[in-house]
Amino acid sequence: MQHYDIAIIGAGLAGSLAAIALARDGHRVALIGPRPAVADGRTTALMDQSIEYLKGLGLWDEIEPLTAPLVAIHIIDGTKRLLRAPPVNFRAAEVGLKAFGYNIPNAPFLEILEKREEGLTALERIAAPAMTFDIGEIEARVGLEDGRTITADLIVGADGRRSAVREAAGIEAFTWSYPQTAVVLNFGHELSHQEVSTEFHTESGPFTQVPLPGNRSSLVWVQKPRDAEATLKLPTDVLSRTIEDRMQSILGKVSAEGTPQSFPLSGMTARRFGKGRAALVGEAAHAFPPIGAQGLNLSLRDVMTLVDLIGRPTGGQLAADIGDRFDGRRRMDIVSRTASVDLLNRSLLSDFLPIQALRAMGLQFISSAGPLRGLLMREGIHPGSALRSIKDSLWEKIGRKRDEGLQH
């Protein structure tokens, strides 16, 4: 029976990145799960903190040619309501960055990760699905579809919203749904996007254009389920014109590419993010609508925390309480991000006039308040940085007053 330090269930982006990071540190890792049956047509906008982590893993040089930088984000209230928010523009230069992050197509991103996995001697890629789990105090056992059983000191669930690892660990999840479906596709356009992402807020949800290399962009169009079904059936020329109209022709003539895909929107958060010899990352731990480029960035912070918590190999068995410690370290970030995205999405859907007024006033305040803008942008890029900035500023003021007192 083969034993590993860590068994990772789920070979999507989050699971693959965790496997690469841990194997690079010298841990014996099994990455378990079949390859996707259908190529993922979505893209992922990774913020500066996540990009720096990819650079540390030695992946960025291969990934960068696929990407487009996001130098600015424009938010436009595209609703027809009485109380509408003003346009809000965020520029990376305001916080001293060349770009907030980069937009990356998921399918080729995953292919690059798979190639890197092949070159890591400490990493074994197992394509057979995991069927059974026994997570004990001494070790975790995984039964594979091909009849094999492996053991590990730690099992990491990266197996999505219906995580079998989460269920086996006895961790409940709180789930909810939205009356929304996301239609995703890529499109070409006549005018340059100038590396700007534009998010139109509509009554049914966000309509978000994100730059790709050249005169191309990706689109996440959140609609009512019935409207999404109709959109998927549109002829390409009609779909292209519809997108152009929705974008108010800011990119000129539009040409939709390929076949659109759709994803019903729902939310989920696990009651715990780790327990004993099990830890949950990515959508096994949290899931929410595609707003504000939070999804994979949050998942990468799961990976960063797990890798930091486990540390380098010591020759002994991994501690039996890693899952519990992981839960403590991830709780604040996950709960706060999930709540904020859920609140923003529900504010778009609400017909309740006071909610619309609060949303409009909030965006107006962000648009006009310089110091707050900077704090919010830094917090979006590097979570926790806003609080650290406030704390450091307070300590600096206390220090100055103390020095002034001593001089007198």
404 occurs within a structural domain: no
| CATH code of the domain in which 237 resides | 3.50.50.60
Residue 214 exposure: Cα atoms within 13 Å on the Cβ side: 8
Q: Which has more pLDDT, 356 or 280? A: 280
Mean pLDDT, the chain, as a whole number?
Answer: 86
What's the pTM value of the predicted model, to 2 decimals? 0.84
Supply the Cα-derived Rg of the chain in whole angstroms. 23
What 8-state DSSP symbol labels residue 94? G
pLDDT at site 291: 65
pLDDT at site 295: 74
Structure tokens at 359: 């949303």
Domain coverage including residue 231:
3-348
377 occurs within a structural domain: no
pLDDT at site 346: 67
- In this model, does residue 82 exceed pLDDT 50? yes
Instruction: Determine the average pLDDT of the residues in 317-337.
Output: 94
Number of other CB atoms surrounding residue 246 within 10 Å: 16
371 occurs within a structural domain: no
Q: CA-based diameter of the chain, in Å?
A: 79
- In this model, does residue 127 exceed pLDDT 90? yes
User: What stretches of 141-290 show up as alpha helix (H) in DSSP?
Assistant: 164-168, 225-232, 236-246
As a whole-number percent, the residues of the chain with pLDDT over 90 amount to: 64
379 occurs within a structural domain: no
pLDDT at site 117: 95
9 occurs within a structural domain: yes
222 occurs within a structural domain: yes
- Checking 97-100 for CB contacts under 8 A at 24+ apart, the result is 97/48, 97/381, 98/69, 98/71, 99/48, 99/69, 99/70, 99/71, 99/195, 100/47, 100/48, 100/70, 100/71, 100/72, 100/73, 100/377, 100/380, 100/381
263 occurs within a structural domain: yes
pLDDT at site 183: 94
184 occurs within a structural domain: yes
- Count of structural domains within the chain: 1
| CA 218/CA 209 separation, integer angstroms | 6
pLDDT digits (tens, 9 = 90+) for 340-391: 787 777 666 545 444 545 555 555 555 555 555 555 656 666 665 544 444 4
What 8-state DSSP symbol labels residue 283? G
